[in-house]
């Protein structure tokens, strides 16, 4: 079984030869049965012919001897030794072998019509032909009975020889097919071996597409390989960009933390030390948040979430409750609108909570001094989408930056409302929307409104 799993050639050979062998065995069996019928017909005709020949010779020679022609028939036409016996008109033995086989004595023996039956002679099964006819031998007229018989084993041997010849031909055919399949598969798979050699010559850094002539049956395999190479190339490039950008983004906070730590050591008073420690804590918290966001992006790359039916109203209530004190403490009006009925969507509850948290952090950090309110709400659209929206009246975003803000490490200038941040929050939101089979977009520039659209569940559609 392991050979069949590990060898395509052995598997194909088995799939082709097994049905062929089964059919061949059926053909051989059918040929043997047909040969037995043919042998019976040929041998029966031969016995009948010999019976008539003996009858003629007995009539012509008055039972003295058989003609040379009849003797030749015995040796040539019969296919084996034939026995015969002749009773005269008076019931006396005329010629042939003694003790002929006897058939069913209850059945009358018709005249001038050969009767064929199976019997046993000296312990061996035989085929018998008996002919009764009127004859005149040496002046005695009456009914003469001629019996001719032959062993049935001769017929079986004849049928067996015919079947063996057929078996030999079939075996040659099977072996020929096996050879053609074995060597033909090797020749047919030659392009795959050449493709394997071409791939083996590549290094780990060479993921360029495979460009070579291949059979049409393998084109999809090559296409999938090239697609995989492209995905790997893009994944490596994205990871390298992430590492490069992360190193760049972390360089400044780490340098700042180091400078603050040195400044703390050189502080002259306790109050100055505490102030610098507070600044150090704030910077380390910001650096920690940046690190968490970098790790989130890394985990989200290539991830496929297990989508479940969730209540978006429950989600925004939970996240809103967690952020209410922080937002209200900044003199920002904070409103959570859940509606009268649940809004059901398909998504990952934990990831969508993270996306909403990032949208709220973005509004607080980049809304500017003119921000007066933040609103989050959920609702269904007319085309059966479940939407999670975050709105604020802070600094507006220009049309040219409406899509750019979802790219990694993109930070707008202060005039457009950016604060100190990593440029990863909205990129994480976009990535979370993607793995949840949804999308996020900036649908209104003033007030600023972000809408995260998800697939509405059937449960939600029934409750609308």
Structure confidence by residue, pLDDT tens digits, 284-332: 876 776 676 666 666 666 556 678 899 999 999 999 998 899 899 989 9
Question: Using one digit for the tens of pLDDT, what is the confidence trace for 186-208?
Answer: 777 777 777 777 777 777 777 77
- Contact predicate 131/52, CB 8 Å: yes
The whole-number average pLDDT for the span 336-340 is: 87
For residue 461, what pLDDT band results from cuts at 50, 70 and 90?
very low
Domain with CATH 3.30.450 in the chain: 2-160
> What does the block give as tokens for 257?
């933390």
Report pLDDT for 100: 85
pLDDT in tens, 349-393: 888 888 898 899 888 888 888 899 999 999 998 888 999 999 998
| Cβ-contact 152, 125 below 8 angstroms | yes
Q: What percent of the chain shows pLDDT beyond 70?
A: 79
Asked whether the beta carbons of 242 and 251 are under 8 A apart, the reply is no
CATH number of 216-300: 1.10.287
Task: Determine contact, residues 183/60, Cβ cutoff 8 Å.
Answer: no
Please state which of the four CATH numbers 2.130.10.10, 3.10.580.10, 3.30.565.10, 1.10.3720.10 is assigned to the domain occupying 308-463.
3.30.565.10
Q: Which residues pair with 87 in a beta bridge?
A: 93, 145
pLDDT on residue 121:
85
Q: Helices in 301-442 by DSSP H: which ranges?
A: 312-328, 349-366, 425-435
Across 11-17, average pLDDT: 78
Which of 74-83, 92-101, 438-447 has the weakest average pLDDT?
74-83
Mode of pairing for the β-strands spanning 439-444 and 373-380: unpaired
Q: How far is the C-alpha of 179 from the C-alpha of 297, rounded, in Å?
A: 57
Residue 415 confidence (pLDDT): 45
Determine contact, residues 390/353, Cβ cutoff 8 Å: no
Q: In whole angstroms, give the CA distance from residue 143 to residue 122.
A: 27
Q: Is 208 left (phi over 0), alpha (psi -120 to 50) or beta?
A: beta
Q: What would the pLDDT profile of 232-249 be if each residue is shown by its tens digit?
A: 887 777 677 667 666 655
pLDDT (mean) for 387-408: 82
- Per-residue pLDDT averaged across 20-27, rounded? 86
Cis preceding linkage at 197, omega within 30:
no
CATH architecture designation of domain 2-160 = 2-Layer Sandwich (3.30)
Residues of the chain with CATH 3.30.565.10: 308-463
Q: Torsion over CA of 11, 14, 20 and 26, rounded to 10 degrees?
A: -140
CA 238 to chain CA centroid, nearest Å = 32
Cβ–Cβ under 8 Å, residues 25 and 33? no
Strand partners, 143: 134
| Element counts in the chain: helices (H) and strands (E) | 11, 12
Q: Is the pTM of this model over 0.85?
A: no
Q: Are 166 and 28 in contact (CB under 8 A)?
A: yes
Which whole number is the average pLDDT over 60-72? 61
Which has more pLDDT, 71 or 241? 241
Give percent above pLDDT 90 in the chain: 12
Looking at the predicted structure, is the pLDDT value of residue 336 above 90? yes
Helix (H) or strand (E) run with residue 218 in it: none
CB 101 within 8 A of CB 120: yes
Question: 10 Å Cβ neighbour count for 387?
Answer: 19
User: Strand pairing partners for 377?
Assistant: 337, 389
pLDDT at 345: 93
- Chain region(s) in the chain for CATH 1.10.287: 216-300
**How distant, in Å, are the alpha carbons of 117, 327, 445 from that of 333?**
116, 8, 19
Distance CA 116, CA 169 (A): 35
User: What is the CB neighbour count within 10 angstroms for residue 386?
Assistant: 25
Across 100-135, b (16+ Cβ under 10 Å) vs e yields bbebeeeeeeeeeebbeeebebeeeebbbbbbbbeb
Which residue did the predictor score with more confidence, 375 or 154?
Answer: 375
Per-residue pLDDT averaged across 428-451, rounded? Answer: 86
Q: Are 67 and 119 in contact (CB under 8 A)?
A: no
Mean pLDDT, residues 248-259 taken together: 69
Instruction: Please return the burial class of 325, using the count of CB atoms within 10 Å of its CB with bins 0-12, 13-18 and 19+.
Output: exposed
- CA 214, CA 222: separation in Å to the nearest integer? 8
Per-residue pLDDT band at 228 (split at 50, 70, 90) = confident
Query: pLDDT tens across 414-427, in order?
Result: 444 444 555 677 88
């Amino acid at each position: 079984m392991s050979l069949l799993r590990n060898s395509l050639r052995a598997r194909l050979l088995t799939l082709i030869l097994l049905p062929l062998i089964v059919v061949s065995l059926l053909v051989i069996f059918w040929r043997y049965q047909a040969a037995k019928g043919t042998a019976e017909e040929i041998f029966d005709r031969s016995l009948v012919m010999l019976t008539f020949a003996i009858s003629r010779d007995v009539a012509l020679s008055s039972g003295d001897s058989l003609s040379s022609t009849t003797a030749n028939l015995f040796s040539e036409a019969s296919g084996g030794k034939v026995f015969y016996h002749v009773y005269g008109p008076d019931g006396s033995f005329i010629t042939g072998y003694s003790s002929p086989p006897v058939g069913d004595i209850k059945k009358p023996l018709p005249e001038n019509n050969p009767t064929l039956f199976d019997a046993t002679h000296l312990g061996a099964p035989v085929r018998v032909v008996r002919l009764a006819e009127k004859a005149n031998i040496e002046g005695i007229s009456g009914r003469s009975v001629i019996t001719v018989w032959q062993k049935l084993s001769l017929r079986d041997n004849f049928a067996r020889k015919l079947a063996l010849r057929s078996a030999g031909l079939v075996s040659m055919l099977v072996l020929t097919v096996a050879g053609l399949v074995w060597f033909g598969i090797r020749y047919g798979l030659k392009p795959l071996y050449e493709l394997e050699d071409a791939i083996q010559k590549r290094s780990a850094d060479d993921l360029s597409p495979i460009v070579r002539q291949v059979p049409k049956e393998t084109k999809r395999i090559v296409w999938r390989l090239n697609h995989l190479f492209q995905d790997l190339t893009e994944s490596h490039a994205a990871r390298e960009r992430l590492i490069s950008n992360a190193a760049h983004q972390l360089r400044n906070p780490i340098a700042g933390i180091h400078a603050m730590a040195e400044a703390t050591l050189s502080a002259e008073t306790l109050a100055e030390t505490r102030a610098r420690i507070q600044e150090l804590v704030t910077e380390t918290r910001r650096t920690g948040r940046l690190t968490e966001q970098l790790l989130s992006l890394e985990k989200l790359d290539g991830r496929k979430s297990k989508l479940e039916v969730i209540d978006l109203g429950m989600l925004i209530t939970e996240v809103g409750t967690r952020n209410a004190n922080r937002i209200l403490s900044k003199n920002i009006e904070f409103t959570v609108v859940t509606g009268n009925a649940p809004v059901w969507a398909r998504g990952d509850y934990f990831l969508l909570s993270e996306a909403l948290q990032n949208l709220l952090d973005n509004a607080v950090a980049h809304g500017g001094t003119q921000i007066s309110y933040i609103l989050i709400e959920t609702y269904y659209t007319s085309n059966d989408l479940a939407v999670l929206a975050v709105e604020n009246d802070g600094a507006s975003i220009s049309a040219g930056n409406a899509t750019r803000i979802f790219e990694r490490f993109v930070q707008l200038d202060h005039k457009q409302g950016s604060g100190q941040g990593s440029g990863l929050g909205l990129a994480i939101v976009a990535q979370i929307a993607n793995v949840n089979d949804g999308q996020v977009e900036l649908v209104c520039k003033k007030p600023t409104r972000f809408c995260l659209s998800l697939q509405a569940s059937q449960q939600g559609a029934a409750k609308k």
